[in-house]
Amino acid sequence: MIWEQVLEKFKEVFGGEGDIRIYFAPGRVNLIGEHTDYNGGHVFPCALTIGTYAVARKRDDKKLRFYSMNFEKAGVLESSVEGLKAEETAGWTNYPKGMIWAFGEKGMKAEQGFDLVLYGNIPNGSGLSSSASVEVVTGFLLKDLFDFEVSNKEIALIGQFAENRFNGVNCGIMDQFAIAMGKEGNAIFLDTADLSYEYAPIVLKGAKIVISCSNKKRGLSDSKYNERRSECETALSELQEVIGIETLGDLTEEQFKQYQSAIKDEVRRKRAKHAVCENQRTIRAVDALKKNDLKQFGALMNESHISLRDDYEVTGTELDTLVEEAWKINGVIGSRMTGAGFGGCTVSIVEDGAVDTFIREVGAAYEKKIGYAADFYVVEIGDGPARLA
């Protein structure tokens, strides 16, 4: 068991005495609905069985001691629950520190510190939300260690608040919500405008979800993510001069065609077009899934990638190569980039009999063109955060 190895590392680094607790929060993949979550649209993510393991023990003083098995060279990084602020030199610890800070901002101040060892088996920088997974597992352990009255949904919102305000990434709610509210065997059809949601069973008869990791690292805060968000906000304000909407997600495709001339800049028009059409695609995709029409769901995944490539311009050579090579394989039902883009991963639905061929042929073509290898993960849909021991 992975958590047993993390527990052993905790005992090695911090000692084995006292009330030691073990937690897990998943990563997530978004099946369709990309860059819609900050535009008031729908998303369709699911939690995965890979994620972040945390072993923690409350202290009697204010000290925080962090150790990551993913960044062992950094050693033990120390801080305090007092005067928390994001620091470049703090690296990955800015995510748990951000959650402690955000809980305090919401009236749940941790008066004592704790020792923490983390291990994530989500590929780092892959776009499967390793940072949001760290945030949610930290929120969950804070709730448990300090007896805070807070729901998983509230932990998701606090995670987004921490990422926005502490770490300076203007992310939407999808990642934290999908992780905190995950349910085995189901994706979450979430309306980000009002956080209404429903669980939708993912029944892939004779098919698997395959994640292809480009191994091109990307950082959200230093990518063009915030730029895209700003372009959409400007486009929205221009549209609001001619039609009474609160978000781009309020528009149908027909309404967008009618009013798009209000957007003064062609680039902003393309960004808004993606946000509107991707939202409608997501609604249609979930409807197709409810009708067991996997072929239509896959076709909409493909359309999503084309829109992200041409209108939103967030794919890049690596992700385009993975998707275009996937489309060549018999037995691939649908394939698209997932996550913020600019690197990270694609998600594909692949018939069981084609999975080995997919990994072999897409992998070979990718390495030949890009010059380094991609990694492939056949994943399962898992639950949200939990205390394991």
User: Could you report the per-residue pLDDT of 101-122, keeping only the tens digit for each?
Assistant: 999 999 999 999 999 999 999 8
Q: What percent of the chain clears pLDDT 90, i.e. is strictly above it?
A: 91
> Is residue 327 included in any domain, yes or no?
no
Q: Determine whether 148 is exposed, middle or buried from the number of CB atoms within 10 Å of its CB (0-12, 13-18, 19+).
A: middle
**pLDDT at residue 277 tops 60:** yes
Summarize the confidence of residues 136-160 as an average pLDDT. 98
Q: Which residues contact 212 (CB under 8 A, 6 or more apart)?
A: 322, 326, 345, 346, 347, 348, 362, 366, 374, 375, 376
Considering the domain boundaries, does residue 62 fall inside one? yes
pLDDT in tens, 85-101: 999 889 999 999 999 99
In the residue annotation, 175 being an active-site residue is answered as yes
- DSSP string computed for 221-269: TTTTHHHHHHHHHHHHHHHTTTS--SSGGG--HHHHHHHGGGS-SHHHH
Q: pTM value? A: 0.92
pLDDT tens for residues 2-45?
999 999 999 999 999 999 999 999 999 999 999 999 999 999 99
Q: Is 163 left (phi over 0), alpha (psi -120 to 50) or beta?
A: alpha
Rounded to whole angstroms, the Cα distance separating 214 from 211 reads: 10
Q: Which domain holds residue 167?
A: 2-202+383-387
Instruction: Return d(Cα 10, Cα 66) in angstroms, integer.
Output: 10
State the pLDDT at residue 223. 65
Q: Which of 144, 122, 153, 170 is nearest to 55 (CA)?
A: 144
What total of structural domains would you count in the chain?
Answer: 1
Asked whether residue 29 is assigned to any structural domain, the reply reads yes
Q: How far apart are CA 187 and CA 132, in angstroms?
A: 17
On the question of pLDDT at 221 being above 50, the answer is: no
220: confidence class by pLDDT, cuts 50, 70, 90 = low
CATH number of the domain to which 139 belongs: 3.30.230.10
The burial class, CB within 10 Å (0-12 / 13-18 / 19+), for 75 is exposed
Q: Mean pLDDT, to the nearest integer, of 308-326?
A: 97
Residue 357 lies in a domain: no
Q: Is 214 inside any structural domain?
A: no
The yes-or-no verdict on residue 132 having pLDDT over 80 is yes
Compute the distance between CA of residue 353 and CA of residue 4 in angstroms, rounded to an integer: 34
Domain assignment present for residue 69? The answer is: yes
**Domain-embedded: residue 30:** yes
Q: How crowded is the C-beta side of 161, counted as CA atoms within 13 Å? A: 15
- 208 within some domain: no
Give Cβ neighbours of residue 125 (< 8 Å, ≥ 6 apart). 217, 218, 219, 343, 344
Backbone φ and ψ for 313, nearest 5 degrees, come out as 55, 55
Catalytic residue among 175, 191, 250, 311: 175
What DSSP character marks residue 292?
T
Q: Report d(CA 32, CA 36) in Å as an integer.
A: 10
Q: What's the mean per-residue pLDDT of the chain?
A: 95
- At 170, is the pLDDT very low, low, confident or very high (cuts 50, 70, 90)? confident
* Cβ–Cβ < 8 Å for 260, 251: no
